[in-house]
A = this chain, B = another copy of it.
């Protein structure tokens, strides 16, 4: 992990935060580069030092979240389901604004749901029970699609309904259900 210049980290952080905020206020397509720069308190030209355009910025924003969740996979892979899921729901809670915005916005980035699903299914692949024999009549693609859409769906519900249960409770219940499905 090469440590990045703190100036770069700060401006990128500010830019990502600005995009999320603006997306709660208007459609992504209606957001202008100048608005992002103003909101982030950054020179307009500075954006182009890091990103191609606003679509690239949004893309990298999504990517960074998926990567961060990917890193949590490695920490969690040796834990029981319900323990492993706690940090995930805490992450969703912490980045509430991002997830609610990305899951709600009806415009171009509806692809987010798909990318999230793909990412989850990729992670589930190594969690399928292949030993006990209880899944011999099930194929991987069906199990992955089933568990993946269920997981995305429950997160979507949880976020959009103002997170009615604390992360720990969600982790326990969803952990139980995912364990039964894989």
Contact = CB atoms under 8 A, between A and B. Distances in A.
Interface residues of A, number: 5
Copies in the complex: 2
A50 interface: no
Interface string A33-55: 00000000111000000000000
A155 B41 CA distance: 33
Interface string A133-164: 00000000000000000000000000000000
Contacts of A42: 6
A72 B89 CA distance: 46
A60 to B, nearest CB: 21
A10 B40 CA distance: 11
Contacts of A10: 41
A41 B42 CA distance: 17
Interface in A37-84: 41-43
Nearest to A13: B41
Interface in A1-31: 6, 10
A108 to B, nearest CB: 31
Contact of A41 (B6, B41, B43): B6
A49 to B, nearest CB: 14
A123 to B, nearest CB: 32
A10 B6 CA distance: 13
A10 B10 CA distance: 11
A42 B6 CA distance: 8
A42 B41 CA distance: 17
Interface of A: 6, 10, 41-43
4 contacts: A6-B41, A6-B42, A6-B43, A10-B41
